[in-house]
Each structure stands twice: as structure tokens, then as C-alpha cells.
Amino acid sequence: MAARQAMLCRLIPLVGVASTGLIYAGLLAAARATTWLRATFRARVGDEARLGLPPIHAPSSIIVEGQVAPRVLPLVFLLVWLYLLVAGLRG
């Protein structure tokens, strides 16, 4: 039983690191796609108010603030998982 518990103490953080990495890659890809869509829209439409359309996105300051959590939180999780992995390998 102790051997299984030791194996899980090493395996669970590895799965956490892998999951966090994949989630982070997905979030970065989504942010890049959103940026690309905004740029494509700007290139094709220009000023949407000129066409009588309402603005379709927030000001850039709000966009930057909204991107802090998806870009930083996975790094925090990654650091915690790496700490647990190292602690599990020592103990």
C-alpha cells in the first residue's frame, strides 16, 4: 500500500503539470485567435460607427485587464504542481 501511495504522490503532480500546460496552451491560442479576429474585423470594416453599428468589443484597457487571469493563473498552478512534484520526489 505504501508503494502505491508513493507512486501516486509522484504521478498526480505530473498529471497536474501536463494538464496545466495543455490548458495554458489552449488559453494562449484562444487569446491569439481573438486578437486575429479583432484585427481582421478592423481591416475589413474600419470604423463600425461609420456604418451605424454598435461597438462589438471593449476598450483595449478592459481587454488587457481581462486577459490577466487567463494568462497568469495557469502559471500559478504550474508552480504549485512543480513544487508538489519536487516535494514528492524528496519524500
How high does pLDDT run on average in the chain? Answer: 87
Domain ranges, residue 76: 22-90
C-beta separation of 91 from 13 below 8 A? no
Has residue 78 been placed in a domain? yes
> What pLDDT is attached to residue 24?
93
Burial class from Cβ neighbours inside 10 Å (0-12, 13-18, 19+) for residue 19 reads middle
Sorted by sequence, the CB contacts under 8 Å of residue 28 that are 6+ apart come out as 71
Asked if the structure places residue 47 within a domain, the reply is: yes
Among the residue ranges 24-28, 58-62, 70-74, 79-83, the one predicted with the least confidence is: 58-62
pLDDT at 26: 95
Please check whether residue 5 lies inside any domain of the structure: no
Q: Is the pLDDT at 47 greater than 90, yes or no?
A: no
Contact 16, 81 (CB under 8 A): yes
Sign, Cα dihedral of 79, 81, 82, 86 = positive
User: What is the model's pTM?
Assistant: 0.74
Confidence of residue 72 (pLDDT cuts 50, 70, 90): very high
